[in-house]
Amino acid sequence: MTIEFSSGDGPPVDLLAATEDMFREAAEDLVRARRELRAGRMDEVKAAVQAVKDLKAALHLVMEERARVEKLRRQVGGVGPDRALDFDAARDEIGRRLARLRDAGEGE
């Protein structure tokens, strides 16, 4: 399968990588807020709660995106837990196509 972009389109955004970055940043925020809480700064409770919410949202997005990627791989590649690549059949098909090309070239 080939995907082509028109001149105005840029490459697709890597949503999985972006979501993982968001997850990492939210985890870092949570660690910082936890340190502040342990130091007795109670004003960080709101930040800690928000960081937990962000982590949950990021985890949910990561899991959804991974499921989409796996589904797309199965659809495009035809490979999955129930399927396997048949290299013998592929070799046979390539051989047949090459033979047709050779035969078509001899008629000149």
pLDDT at 7: 46
Residue 93 within a domain: no
Range of the structural domain that residue 77 is part of: 15-81
Residue 5 within a domain: no
Structural domain total, the chain:
1
pLDDT for 71 beyond 70: yes
98 or 12, higher pLDDT = 98
The number of C-alpha atoms within 13 Å of 79 and in the hemisphere containing its C-beta is: 7
What's the token pair of residue 42?
């109670």
Residue 108 within a domain: no
Residue 89 within a domain: no
pLDDT for 49 beyond 70: yes
Residue 94 within a domain: no
Residue 92 within a domain: no
Residue 76 within a domain: yes
**What does the alpha-carbon distance between residue 70 and residue 97 come to, in Å, rounded to a whole number?**
31
pLDDT at 27: 79
Q: Are 23 and 59 in contact (CB under 8 A)?
A: yes
Percent of the chain exceeding pLDDT 70 equals: 76
Residue 48 within a domain: yes
pLDDT at 81: 56
The pTM is what?
Answer: 0.40
> What average pLDDT does the chain have?
75
Q: Are 92 and 60 in contact (CB under 8 A)?
A: no
